[in-house]
Amino acid sequence: MTDRIVLAYSGGLDTSVAIGWIAEATGSEVVAVAVDVGQGGESLETVRQRALDCGAVEAYVADARDEFAEQYCMPTLKTNALYMDAYPLVSAISRPVITKHLVAAAQQFGASTVAHGCTGKGNDQVRFEVGIQTLGPELKCIAPVRDLALTRDKAIEYAERNELPIETTKSNPFSIDQNVWGRAVETGFLEDIWNGPTKDVYDYTEDPAFPPAPDVVTITFEAGVPTAIDGRAVTALEAIEELNRRAGAQGVGRIDIVEDRLVGIKSREIYEAPGAMALIAAHKELENITLEREQARFKKTVDQRWTELVYDGQWFSPLKRSLDTFVEDTQRHVSGEIRLRLHAGTAVVEGRRSETSLYDFNLATYDTGDAFDQSSARGFIDIFGLSAKVASEREQRLHGKPDLSAVDSLEQ
């Protein structure tokens, strides 16, 4: 029986050429796997037929938009995940769901190897292959661009020579990856980090310099997940899509960053994530009023480590799974409404309310009705500062009082 290789298939030039290229280089049959995570463009049926026309013996297609939104985007939202405080893991969280379907297809069609279209310089090769090794330890991995020397020039020549049903062009200078959580753009003139992005870089967002009238939106959350927008019930996918449209119209979610890749290279990336950034802004503020102080402080540490693990391709790792358990516990009371004002590239919280809020008006107010016993503050301060006071007395006893003359001169 001829060996089979499962290929992560996008429907574009490189992966279409890779079908025949892999077959010729390995003597194996190729099964194409296309997974819709909200990237838009052609229908899955069109992509499936193209894969068959390019030589695939089978074509596995999956509409994973709801799965991606619920099982990958929502955990990312619950951790307020921003790699290097900026990047909302647009590509990083799509790789695990694609990997899951690649392994399922390999098992369904009896393939021994999984192939992907990543280069040897990026993060995605790690994300795919670590995920494949974890979910299907018996499977081997190959990357035609990295392992079989499939360059873009060779891909175009191969497609033209074999009359493949795919557009061949060198005109687009960018490498683009997109899904419902956002859009990533790199290469071309962007590799010179002094160059500013031009308007043709963007697709999900309008120019924030010329915004329409402000758009005020109320987002309802239950246990950390958006469940309604302006009072209308929505699924996770619908929430992201609507905020992509509304926040995108205001230019929210444009990100330009020089990013530390896992492989050790610094890379200039442009991201658009209007829905993701608006939802994260709202979710963070709701956590501000519903999480206890020490829990909130520690969660920031967990959020950062979770983000680093996912960026580094460790979605299926034991540590990430353990952190998920902690994050889920913190979200039990993250329910309520956040009112956001979307305008000119910003998503600003204007109002918040929650039945599970820890904000107590009677404790916070300075007006009549103040329920806080201010007389208890003196004793609290004495105890809170006691260890520092004792240490300071020791220093002064052994080394003399500190020189405060510089402070005196500043005051004069």
Confidence of residue 146 (pLDDT cuts 50, 70, 90): confident
Closest CA to 86 of 278, 296, 259, 216: 259
pLDDT surpasses 70 at 138:
yes
Last residue of a domain, one of 171, 202, 237: 171
Same domain, 189 and 161: no
Q: What is the DSSP string of 286-341?
A: HHHHHS-HHHHHHHHHHHHHHHHHHHTT-TTSHHHHHHHHHHHHHGGG--EEEEEE
Query: Cα(8)–Cα(352) distance, rounded to whole angstroms?
Result: 43
Alpha helices, H only, 58-200: 65-68, 74-78, 94-109, 124-135, 144-147, 152-161
Same domain, 24 and 147: yes
CB 112 within 8 A of CB 13: no
Last residue of a domain, one of 171, 203, 222: 171
pLDDT at 135 (0 to 100) = 97
Same domain, 166 and 202: no
Catalytic residue among 53, 146, 175, 177: 175
Q: Is 16 marked as binding a ligand? A: yes
Element counts in the chain: helices (H) and strands (E): 16, 14
Query: Which tens digit of pLDDT belongs to each residue from 175-189?
Result: 889 999 999 998 889
Query: Which tens digit of pLDDT belongs to each residue from 352-379?
Result: 999 999 999 888 888 877 888 888 889 9
Q: Is 8 marked as binding a ligand? A: yes
Of 153 and 48, the structure prediction assigns the larger pLDDT to 48
pLDDT surpasses 80 at 170:
no
Same domain, 342 and 378: no
pLDDT at 5 (0 to 100) = 97
Asked if the structure places residue 248 within a domain, the reply is yes
Q: Which residues pair with 175 in a beta bridge?
A: 186
Same domain, 349 and 202: yes
Instruction: Summarize the confidence of residues 217-233 as an average pLDDT.
Output: 98
* Phi and psi torsions of 270, nearest 5°: -110, 130
pLDDT at 28 (0 to 100) = 95
Asked if the structure places residue 221 within a domain, the reply is yes
Type of residue numbered 365? T
CB 183 within 8 A of CB 272: yes
Structure tokens at 78: 């619950």
Same domain, 381 and 245: no
Instruction: Find where tokens 């899955």 sit.
Output: 44
175 is catalytic: yes
Structure tokens at 15: 């992966």
Among 1-5, 45-49, 76-80, 307-311, name the one with the lowest average pLDDT: 1-5
Type of residue numbered 297? R
Return mean pLDDT, the chain: 93
Same domain, 213 and 351: yes
Among 41-45, 204-208, 280-284, 405-409, name the one with the lowest average pLDDT: 405-409
Same domain, 98 and 137: yes
Last residue of a domain, one of 171, 190, 214: 171
Same domain, 163 and 131: yes
Q: Give buried/exposed letters for 147-167 (b at 16+ CB in 10 A, else e).
A: ebebeeeebbebbeeeebebe
In percent, the amount of the chain with pLDDT more than 70 equals: 97
Same domain, 107 and 65: yes
Catalytic residue among 4, 14, 267, 312: 14
Domain harbouring 396, CATH code: 1.20.5
Helix 13-26 crosses helix 152-161 at what angle (to 10 degrees)?
80
Q: Give buried/exposed letters for 283-322 (b at 16+ CB in 10 A, else e).
A: bebbbebbbeeeeeeebeebbbebbebbbbbbbbbeebee
pLDDT at 154 (0 to 100) = 83
Alpha carbon 191 to its chain centroid, in Å, reads 22
Which domain, by its residues, includes 371?
362-401
Of 154 and 258, the structure prediction assigns the larger pLDDT to 258
CB 31 within 8 A of CB 54: no
pLDDT at 409 (0 to 100) = 59
Distances (CA, A) of 187 to 14, 173, 190, 268, 358: 16, 7, 6, 8, 47
Distances (CA, A) of 70 to 80, 113, 340, 356: 15, 29, 22, 23
Same domain, 157 and 207: no
Query: Which tens digit of pLDDT belongs to each residue from 193-220?
Result: 999 999 999 999 999 999 999 999 999 9
| Cα dihedral 106, 89, 145, 64 sign | positive
Domain harbouring 156, CATH code: 3.40.50.620
Query: Which tens digit of pLDDT belongs to each residue from 332-356?
Result: 999 999 999 999 999 999 999 999 9
Catalytic residue among 124, 183, 267, 268: 124
Q: Is 259 marked as binding a ligand? A: yes
Query: Cα(89)–Cα(183) distance, rounded to whole angstroms?
Result: 10
95 is catalytic: yes
Query: Which tens digit of pLDDT belongs to each residue from 60-95?
Result: 999 999 999 999 999 999 999 999 999 999 999 999
pLDDT surpasses 80 at 24:
yes
Of 311 and 404, the structure prediction assigns the larger pLDDT to 311
Catalytic residue among 4, 48, 50, 95: 95
**How many domains does one find in the chain?**
3
Same domain, 68 and 148: yes
Asked if the structure places residue 82 within a domain, the reply is yes
Asked if the structure places residue 263 within a domain, the reply is yes
Instruction: Summarize the confidence of residues 18-35 as an average pLDDT.
Output: 94
Q: Is 238 marked as binding a ligand? A: no
pLDDT surpasses 60 at 412:
no
322 is catalytic: no
50 is catalytic: no
80: number of Cβ within 10 Å: 21
Q: Is 175 marked as binding a ligand? A: yes
Q: Is 117 marked as binding a ligand? A: yes
